């Protein structure tokens, strides 16, 4: 069987107005002091793909408009609701006050492996991704309800934040959408 690659016009994607009117999945993404503008743009694009409810940009994480964010976001800064928070602690407190369960994505004692993660279908989640070098700060991990770990078996001990976000957001999306 041959597979013909689809043209963008055949993908039946909604336009910006339609996306902004659609109900989103109760998935929040918290970026804790992300340095790379390309990583930020990539997470915007992934959050768009999986209809995440909101992107929270915290600390030194840059915010749109910025040329390097737009380069990888490809317009997703317009389709994904986002807020800038000078302090990650405040962002997490607000989410928890709204009844959202907050998960750090990190390697930590007692972490839940991503494939074993269980969420209630009516429970909103926030996924905290940390700095490219230092990860999620310990004081932020301490505020979270739990820690998710992506199992890794190679010699490197971390994944790029945009790769991690893609993997974890896919897992979250499957719980709400499929």
Q: What is the CATH number of the domain that holds 76?
A: 3.40.1280.10
The tally of domains found in the chain comes to: 1
User: Per the domain annotation, does 166 fall within a domain?
Assistant: yes
> Residue 138 has what pLDDT?
98
Asked whether residue 178 carries a pLDDT value surpassing 80, the answer given is no
Beta strands in the chain (DSSP E): 25-32, 52-58, 82-85, 101-105, 112-113, 125-130, 146-149
Give tens-digit pLDDT for 85-104. Answer: 999 999 999 999 999 999 99
Which tokens go with 115? 């494939």
CA distance 117 to 119: 7
How do 25-32 and 125-130 pair as beta strands?
Answer: parallel
Residues spanned by the domain of 107: 20-149+157-177
Q: Cβ(32)–Cβ(137) under 8 Å?
A: yes
User: Per the domain annotation, does 145 fall within a domain?
Assistant: yes
How do 112-113 and 52-58 pair as beta strands?
Answer: unpaired
Model confidence band, residue 111 (pLDDT cutoffs 50, 70, 90)? very high
User: Per the domain annotation, does 2 fall within a domain?
Assistant: no
Q: Which is nearest to 83 in space by CA: 46, 131, 31, 124?
A: 31
User: Per the domain annotation, does 32 fall within a domain?
Assistant: yes
User: Per the domain annotation, does 49 fall within a domain?
Assistant: yes
């Amino acid at each position: 069987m041959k597979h013909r690659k689809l043209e963008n016009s055949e993908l039946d994607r909604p336009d910006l107005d339609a996306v902004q009117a659609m109900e989103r999945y109760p998935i929040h993404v918290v970026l804790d002091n992300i340095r790379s503008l390309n990583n930020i743009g990539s997470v915007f694009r992934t959050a768009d793909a999986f209809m995440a409810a909101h992107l929270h940009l915290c600390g030194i994480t840059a915010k749109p408009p910025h040329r390097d964010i737009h380069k990888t976001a490809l317009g997703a800064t317009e389709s994904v609701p986002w807020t800038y928070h000078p302090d990650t602690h405040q962002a997490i407190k607000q989410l928890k006050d709204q009844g959202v369960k907050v998960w750090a994505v990190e390697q930590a004692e007692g972490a839940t492996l991503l494939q074993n993660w269980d969420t209630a279908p009516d429970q909103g989640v926030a996924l905290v991704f940390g700095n490219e070098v230092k990860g999620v700060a310990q004081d932020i991990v301490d505020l979270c309800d739990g820690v998710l770990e992506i199992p890794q078996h190679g010699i490197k001990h971390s994944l790029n934040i945009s790769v991690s976000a893609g993997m974890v957001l896919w897992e979250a999306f499957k719980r709400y959408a499929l």
